[in-house]
Chain A
């Protein structure tokens, strides 16, 4: 089976930088995705890491270390609209390509 761990809640100040960690245990690991979900809304894709290292997309960056089974999402220049839940998800091969989601980290950005 698969298991993912991420903090349940994080609070950060507007304009600051926040890092959301994700550790995973899985077989057949292909890569790590990150999704954002505002309350009552649909998850939206943020990033995907298949190889070790840092991927940058605007204010958001995502990192993966396959040897440590660890990744993180880095949000810079936080804005109030970044308040949302963030999910890491492992891409695995269990007969077909699927995603297995973590339980999410609720980020609250305060003024």
Chain B
């Protein structure tokens, strides 16, 4: 079955540590996205990538980094510079950048930093 996988589902880290969240898709989609969701809030865009080896900052990129070395993979690193990293992180993809209106989401990773 085609889809997006994110691992792990729950992640706990100590303050000051970097952590990398995995996102893999087998939909053969060109574009991929990372969002952050806080309780009772909408989704805020962290980074997006329209093509391999290219990515752009979203609205809240500070304290995060990404890479897109393969079409299938778009890992997100939450660095120690991110002031409030505890959140629900969602990865998504769309077939083409121009089809960003229809995004397919992974199950998410809930990150808790203490």
Contacts and interface: CB of A to CB of B under 8 A. Distances in A.
Contacts of A44: 105
Given A42-B107, A87-B42, A48 B101 contact: yes
A103 B40 contact: yes
B108 interface: yes
Contact of B101 (A33, A102, A103): A33
B58 A45 contact: no
A87 B43 contact: yes
A43 B48 contact: no
A97 interface: yes
Size category of the binding interface on chain A: 20 to 34
Contact of B106 (A30, A42, A95, A102): A42
Interface residues of B, number: 26
Contact of A95 (B40, B56, B59, B90): B56
B105 A96 contact: no
Contact of A48 (B43, B98, B102): B102
A101 interface: yes
Nearest to B6: A42
Interface in B57-114: 58-59, 90, 92, 97-108
B19 interface: no
A101 B48 contact: no
Given A101-B43, A103-B41, A104-B42, A42 B56 contact: no
A41 interface: yes
B105 A43 contact: yes
A104 B58 CA distance: 20
Interface of B: 35, 40-45, 48, 50, 56, 58-59, 90, 92, 97-108
